[in-house]
Amino acid sequence: MDERRVNIIAAISVITLIILIVVARVTLKLSKAFFLIFGAGVAVILAVFAYVLVSISYNRRRRLLESQFKSESQELRIEYSFLRKVAGVPMKFRYKELEEATDGFQALIGKGASASVFKGILNDGTSVAVKRIDAEERGEKEFRSEVAAIASVHHVNLVRLLGYCNAPTAPRYLVYEYVSNGSLDWWIFSKRVSQRRRGGCLSWNLRYNVAIDVAKGLAYLHHDCRSRILHLDVKPENILLDENFRALVSDFGLAKLIGKEESHKEVSAIRGTRGYLAPEWLLEKGISDKTDIYSYGMVLLEIVGGRKNVCSVEIDERANKSKRKWQYFPKIVNEKVREGKLMEIVDPRLLECGGVVDETQVRTLVYVALWCVQEKPRLRPSMPQVVDMLEGRVRVEMPPDTRMVVVDFLCVDEESATDSNSMPRLDFVSNQRTQSNVESSSTYSFATTIMSGR
């Protein structure tokens, strides 16, 4: 019984007995009946007081033991949490914990086609990035198995998975360490810097270091894990920069896992981002580590040029008329390399601000990038070979001239896009945010027809 209720009942009982004794004294005088009632009443009152004292003592001891148990339990939880962090084992969070950490999921720091990322602070003061996966792409069992696989991944150039929050249905949550300087796209592309996100123009030396960091992270995923992990969405938005501008590859937690003995893997659906998809994936020939290498090559070109690999530009044709045309940056880079105009590829902002740009390093990055975007997967280097080339242990030869068949598919101008036969092409390269994933089967069947016809 509640202590307060016990005290109230005891007080009412004592008052009632006292009133009964007073009434008996008035009505019965000093008769034998009065003394019997008086004695019984006093005995009951003493018993009530004794019960109250014992109850108070018991409740105080119980509260003390509960407080000690709670304190020890909290210390054990903190110790357990510390040991899990040291061991790198992701924690299972409750939804309420993540809701409180993110202040009701208010601090949005990124949004994709099927997921949103929120900044949060855990009870121990750790800053985290909470990724909410809205799409129902995997079952609970598959989600757990892939989280367990990623939990064993530890590399200085990979974002660390701190925990997860699972549910039978979407949304599910992944909790990553928070990286202060945001994603690479805000540091290499010309964008307005907002109060919510930092950005600017990354210096050449830092860009070159970022290229090496990303290559090391992907090399670890491809070759140094028990199960080979394919990222399948390598792009600047998924490359984060910490306070020292060290690059960390992120968003690899739910990528494809393939065995060491498998050379490639068949997939039923095509996932990825416009402009970074390898030709063999579009042609439904399966995926491999060379698929990530193609995407990495595209990112290298964007790091050097400071521009998207597919973009729309305005072209003046006559005095009062202009039109827009889609440009494919890798094709421009390939042409400039053949013409010997290598420095014309470099982000003009680097040259305008008087920064030092090492032409030898530019040549290395561009050559490696063109090797990585070769249309035949067997011609592309492995990621450990890429690391060796970028760090100067292996000489980088001039890459072969690639036909870039995909150029004919991507480079359409605004006038041709108005034709009904060209609409699928325009849909593929529409000027949307790069986070949007490619899911249209009709677009891919059209791409397959175009590419196969060459």
What span, in angstroms and rounded, lies between the C-alpha atoms of 401 and 230? 27
Is the separation of the CB atoms in 438 and 272 below 8 Å? Answer: yes
What span, in angstroms and rounded, lies between the C-alpha atoms of 100 and 93? 11
Exposed, middle or buried, 86 (CB in 10 Å: 0-12/13-18/19+)? exposed
For residue 191, report the phi and psi dihedrals to the nearest 5 degrees.
Answer: -135, 155
In the three-class reduction of DSSP (H, G, I as helix; E, B as strand; rest coil), residue 242 is classed as coil
- Give the strand pairing for 172-177 and 161-165: antiparallel
Is the separation of the CB atoms in 182 and 102 below 8 Å? Answer: no
The alpha-helical segments, DSSP class H, found in 154-288 are 185-188, 204-219, 279-282
In the three-class reduction of DSSP (H, G, I as helix; E, B as strand; rest coil), residue 241 is classed as strand
In the three-class reduction of DSSP (H, G, I as helix; E, B as strand; rest coil), residue 356 is classed as coil
Q: Which two tokens stand for residue 13?
A: 């009982």
Q: For residue 427, give the nearest of 269, 439, 277, 435 by alpha carbon.
A: 439
Annotation marks residue 233 as catalytic: yes
What span, in angstroms and rounded, lies between the C-alpha atoms of 71 and 65? 10
Please identify which residue in the block is written with the tokens 């092409």: 425
What span, in angstroms and rounded, lies between the C-alpha atoms of 278 and 287? 9
Q: Which two tokens stand for residue 276?
A: 């970074």
- Torsion angle defined by CA atoms of residues 325, 329, 332 and 334, in that order, rounded to the nearest 10 degrees: -150
Residue 131 annotated as lining a ligand binding site = yes
**Catalytic residue, candidates 213, 233, 289, 347:** 233
- The amino acid at residue 22 is V
According to DSSP, the residues that pair with 2 across neighbouring strands are none
| Residues of each annotated binding site | 131
Active site residues: 233
| Residues of each annotated binding site for ATP | 131
